[in-house]
A and B are shown apart, each in its own frame.
Chain A
Amino acid sequence: MIHFDYIRVSTTKAAVDAIVKDSKAQWIAGGTNLVDLMKKGVMAPDKLVDINNLALKEIKKQSSSLLIGALALNGPVADNELVRKEQPLLSLALQAGASAQLRNMATVGGNMMQRTRCPYFYNPDMPCNKREPGTGCGALKGFNRMHAIFTDSEKCIAVHPSDMSIALVALDATVLVSGPKGDRRIPFQNFHRLPGDMPQKDNTLERGELIVAVDIPDNKFSKNVHYLKVRDRTSYAFALVSVAAALDMQGSTIKDVRLAMGGVAHKPWRLPEAENFLKGKTASEAVFRQAAELSMKGAKGYGYNNFKLRLAPTSIVEALKAASGKK
């Protein structure tokens, strides 16, 4: 690892100031992704600003939402009684990610900031428009088994690796940020972005904007939820495809539904067409199958990942079956 300076800050303002005045400085929280990227030479900040002393660990019930501090740790959030009771989908998604040790280190804010695990991004000897804009996408005609089937640009077909974020986009969460120009609330759907002409930008944060919390509005998804993660081994692997499904059922009628997929796009991939189709319908495998087919509009394989074109809709059906109890 290259040399870097290290400082600790204890207020949000000091954290923001430290990043604004030093263009090569970077925040560090859990470090589970950043330290790895620095060892690989993919990222090389001149200075690390340690934000772990900021008072952003609290999980608290608001009048109509659940507020989770950006520095709350993934493992403890997944096990938290309030989270399990109010937002079980989030708990399931967190449990599906990484390993117990990593979940004890990784923060909620850091989880959504993690970089893609695309092997071309991870290897500085390979072309990658995300790591080094203009060098091309090695995955497009390369080994792209893990890669996206939905994208707005072939400059980058990497996928966002977070499980937690798939649940948060399904739950209509809001990201609270604090920056040099003040505070701002970003709908989770708008937090991550598609690659477009700037695959180097994973999200819509401005320089100096720090995530302080995630706010999840109250909902009726406390019972019929499922997070299905399909991967190369049963545990501790990134998703080939994952599906977050939440249903509000009245008998066998679907009153409300949320669906999102991981492992298929540069951002957590919400499925609005399928949701609209399912609302008011009677739950059945045939209906789930139709919803899944609707979700695949615009999907495209790049060779090694062609299997996802079948795996994704099948996974949607399985997740909906599990969530609705129609196993």
Chain B
Amino acid sequence: MAQKKSFNDQQDDKHYSEGRRNFLKQSSLLTALAITPPYLLKAAESELDEKAAGYFEKMPLSIEINGVNHKLSIEPRTTLLDLMREQLALTGTKKGCDHGQCGACTVHVDGNRVLSCLTLAVMVEGKKITTVEGLADGDQLHPMQEAFIKHDGFQCGYCTPGQIMSAIGCIREGHANSDDEIREYMSGNICRCGAYPNIVKAIADVKKGGQKL
């Protein structure tokens, strides 16, 4: 909770002026305040001082995400995943384990698939990031997105953005030459619904199509 709150405090209000997400956050915060004993509120206040100090420790960051340039000021401890989700309202990239074990947060940095939960945002200064939001060309879905729909490569869909970003990387890296190879090189993306067979089919189909990804 404490961590979440500190992110909320960093947020740019304009992204959060509407929507269910915001309502839920505000209402749960109000509920929390109402039931919080006074001595804890006092502690929260002194934490605010720390945040004020933290403000001066922010670093400038300029990155390009899905073709849009961002000039930001961030704390060095902010991961790329948290920056995108909490400060830029790019929630397509999912937070699964937050420890590099599930692959839900997979994005491309300069075209290579990496885990955004283990990437400090300050370390991708000047780089080009692509997330699942950046794949479609207007209404035209990316071939991998089309293939996931065609082959029913998901059930609940939570791991899907990571699966799709990873799948594109798998083909680009030249490791989608057989079902076994696809399984091995996609093993960093966990799907608790067990949609694996259809994910493999989707990737094999795109690979067969031979398009440049």
Taking Cβ atoms with an 8 Å cutoff, the residues of A that contact B are 1-6, 28, 31-32, 35-36, 38-40, 48, 50, 52, 75, 79, 98-102, 104-105, 234-236
Contacts and interface: CB of A to CB of B under 8 A. Distances in A.
Contact of A105 (B114, B169, B184): B114
The 6 A-B residue pairs with the shortest CB-CB distance, nearest first, are A99-B188, A235-B187, A6-B76, A236-B187, A1-B77, A35-B118
Contacts of A48: 76, 120
Contact of B114 (A5, A79, A104): A104
B77 A75 contact: no
Nearest to A73: B112
A235 B119 contact: no
B93 interface: no
A104 B187 contact: no
Contacts of B189: 99
B196 to A, nearest CB: 12
A28 B160 CA distance: 30
Contacts of A50: 122-123
B59 A6 contact: yes
B203 to A, nearest CB: 12
Interface residues of B, number: 34
Interface of B: 54, 57, 59, 75-77, 79, 98-100, 103, 106, 112-115, 118-120, 122-123, 166, 169-170, 173-175, 183-189
Contacts of A5: 57, 76
B100 A36 contact: yes
A79 B177 CA distance: 14
A98 to B, nearest CB: 7
B119 A101 contact: no
Chain B CB within 10 A, most for which of A28, A38, A104:
A104
Given A50-B123, A235-B187, A99 B114 contact: no
Contacts of A4: 76-77
Contact of B166 (A1, A40, A98, A100): A100
Given A101-B114, A101-B166, A236-B188, A3 B54 contact: yes
A100 B57 contact: no
Nearest to A103: B188
Contacts of B77: 1-4, 38
Nearest to A122: B99
Contacts of B188: 98-102, 236
A100 B122 contact: no
Given A4-B77, A39-B98, A105-B115, 13 more contacts: A2-B77, A6-B120, A31-B119, A35-B120, A36-B118, A79-B173, A99-B103, A101-B103, A101-B106, A101-B166, A102-B188, A234-B183, A236-B188
A29 to B, nearest CB: 10
A28 B118 contact: no
Contacts of A3: 54, 57, 75-77
B75 A105 contact: no
A123 to B, nearest CB: 13
A102 B76 contact: no
B58 to A, nearest CB: 10
A100 B99 contact: no
A101 B115 contact: yes
Given A31-B123, A75-B173, A100 B185 contact: yes
A52 B123 contact: yes
Given A4-B76, A4-B77, A105-B114, A99 B187 contact: yes
